[in-house]
Amino acid sequence: MLSLDQVVNTNEAWEPQRILLYSVQGLGKNTFASTFEKPFVFVLEDGSGNVEMSTFTDENGKPKMLATFEDVVAGIEALHGDHDFLTLVIDTLDWLEPLVWAKQIKEVPLNEKGHEVRHLEDYGYGKGFLMVCDWWRWLLGGFNSLRFKKGMTIVLLAHAEVKRYDSPVVDPYDRYQIKLNKHAFALWQEWADMVLFANYKTRIEKTDVGFDKQIKRGEGSGERVIYTEERPAFLAKNRWGLPPEIYIGQDKSWAGFHYALNESTAGRYTIPSTLDKEKKQ
């Protein structure tokens, strides 16, 4: 039974967040993920070894790469056991995508005409990419279960790619997007509380070359910025009123993001203990 005696403001109930960060290559996505409280990473590509996060090990005691959809499912089930991890990191979402495709083909190896399926396109134009959304939703449900039952923040990492965007109001233009099929891309974009785009800060330098001509070139010093609101050049969103741009610079702790989120949520988001200790010192 519902009663108006039990009413709460929707923005007062803080829950573990669903964060999707995508960026250009080599910017430090794994380092960003490692700054969250007590992180555990699902290694899907060879890129997490340079940061300190817990993960599964193979028979040789080395970090285990999850190579099948079933491996990922087993990982989710394992994290429903006893542990003190507070963050699950998926490294990366676009490397998880082929495992989802392989799962679909394994479960439905023939198309409607009875022909063998070797690629999603063999199901018929566009059908396969819609079919795999059911497996994506299964994983989505597993991540949600870890949020609600184990109190884990979910941090999804992904690579960026430049693709043409067909706008209904202006001519098509290029912009950064998440490197996923458009149906999976839309699913995870909608699910996430924050879709963050990180890039290097670039300035345009103009050089006169004579005869009233100039050469323009991009220059940068490795300083990074997180963008939290959509612009023509990239997709981004957040539900907490974060600043449109969060300056990170070359800070490997990514502290600027954590303090901005803490401030935007009026302290409901707790700054990771390692950063809090640094601040006190």
Q: How is the chain split into domains, by residue range?
A: 15-280
**pLDDT for res 209:** 46
Amino acid at 10: T
The per-residue pLDDT for 201 is 86
> Could you check whether the bond before residue 92 is cis, i.e. omega within 30 degrees of 0?
yes
pTM of the model: 0.88
* pLDDT in the model for residue 236: 96
- In this structure, the strands spanning 213-219 and 203-210 are antiparallel
Please give the pLDDT value at position 280: 45
Q: What are the 10-residue block averages of pLDDT along the chain, 281 residues in total?
A: 68 83 93 96 79 91 94 98 97 96 96 92 92 96 97 97 85 91 95 97 56 50 91 94 96 95 94 71 45
The reply to whether CATH 3.40.50 applies to domain 15-280 is: yes
Outline where DSSP puts E strands in the chain.
Answer: 18-23, 39-43, 87-91, 153-165, 173-178, 194-200, 203-210, 213-219, 224-227, 237-238, 245-249
